[in-house]
Amino acid sequence: MPGIDECLTEAMTLPGARGAWLVDWNSGLALGTAGESPVGDHETTAAETAELARAAAEFDSFTVGAEGPEGDTGEPPVEDLIVTTRAGYHVLRFVRTSFDSSVFLHLWLDRDTGNLALARIRLGDLAERLVLG
């Protein structure tokens, strides 16, 4: 089971990967980074994407009904977010943790060389195997 650095290194092996982060959406801090940043600064990217993740995880429009038939599952109510730009894709995958589940993986892909479907599947796998501690 990979730790943060191994997880981000593995994410960077995906076709078209330009940058990867593990971010705490409560604080906006990057817990780990790899590759490039679209704005030239990993901490700025982490803080900006944390705002987006926090909104998706807290707004009723995205969370109502996400708790499943048995009630609250203790998992993040949103599985992932995908933002498409003219030059790339940003995939934010929420990570289930044994504590407050307020972290997500962020992968930035080049639009011409990236494979969005593969990235989404592999980030899901990485999020399941990631060991935080």
Question: Can you give the residue ranges of every domain in the chain?
Answer: 4-129
Global pTM value: 0.88
Query: What's the rounded mean pLDDT across residues 97-105?
Result: 81
Residues 115, 11 contacting (CB under 8 angstroms): no
Predicted local distance difference test score (pLDDT) of residue 74: 56
- Predicted confidence band of residue 71 (pLDDT cuts 50, 70, 90): very low
CATH code for the domain defined by 4-129 = 3.30.450.30
Q: Per residue in 17-60, pLDDT tens?
A: 999 999 999 999 999 999 999 999 999 999 999 999 999 988 88
